[in-house]
Amino acid sequence: KDVAENNKGARVLVVCSEVTAVTFRGPSDTHLDSLVGQALFGDGAAALIVGSDPVPEIEKPIFEMVWAAQTIAPDSEGAIDGHLREAGLTFHLLKNVPGNVSKNITKALVEAFEPWGISDYNSIFWIAHPGGPAILDQVEQKLALKPEKMNATREVLSEYGNMSSACVLFILDEMRKKSTQNGLKTTGEGLDW
């Protein structure tokens, strides 16, 4: 982000590649939680080019990022743990991950959208990292989102699984494809820019 924003004409290739199949292990009486991760996660890779100040005669940007932030949810340490051991790489998910996300989502969204005057989360389109169905269900309920707001996210999760970093790029592409199929001038349901 810094290179693209602060170096005129810079273009940065961002690649997200996840190979979660290497974490597959047979069921274990001592780590039933690992089955959840194995059921949710999938392999995936995606890439995009990021830059600022596009050259209109040459470049046709599909998306524009206007703001970015990072939030660390309280009490989230150890919620998702990866361990490299003799048996290989393993991941363990705590049961409270969906509840923790749901508990902290409102605060994060207020910080992100209040400066823009946005408080109705049904008025925006959603490119949400899926995590898993339980997380999406709790976020929808907590924010009173219309079910269609997470259509692209749920479609990618259903088709490919949680591909970690690659997921968001797959979801962006899914929404772009649906907008094109529906003849929309913009990307994202309900937008008219």
For residue 141, the Cα-to-chain-centroid distance in whole angstroms is: 18
State pLDDT tens for residues 156-179: 999 999 999 999 999 999 988 988
Q: Look up residue 131 and give its two tokens.
A: 């995590």
What pLDDT score does 189 carry? 60
Q: What domains are there in the chain, each with its CATH number?
A: 2-181 (3.40.47.10)
What pLDDT score does 20 carry? 81
Q: What is the mean pLDDT of the chain?
A: 86
Torsional class of 53: left (φ above 0), alpha (ψ -120 to 50), beta (otherwise): left
- The pTM for the full model equals 0.84
Residue 21 has pLDDT above 90, yes or no: no
Residue 97 has pLDDT above 90, yes or no: no
State pLDDT tens for residues 121-149: 999 889 999 889 999 999 999 999 998 99
What pLDDT score does 192 carry? 46
Q: Which of 27-36, 70-79, 134-143, 149-158 has the lowest mean pLDDT?
A: 27-36
**Greatest CA separation for the chain:** 61
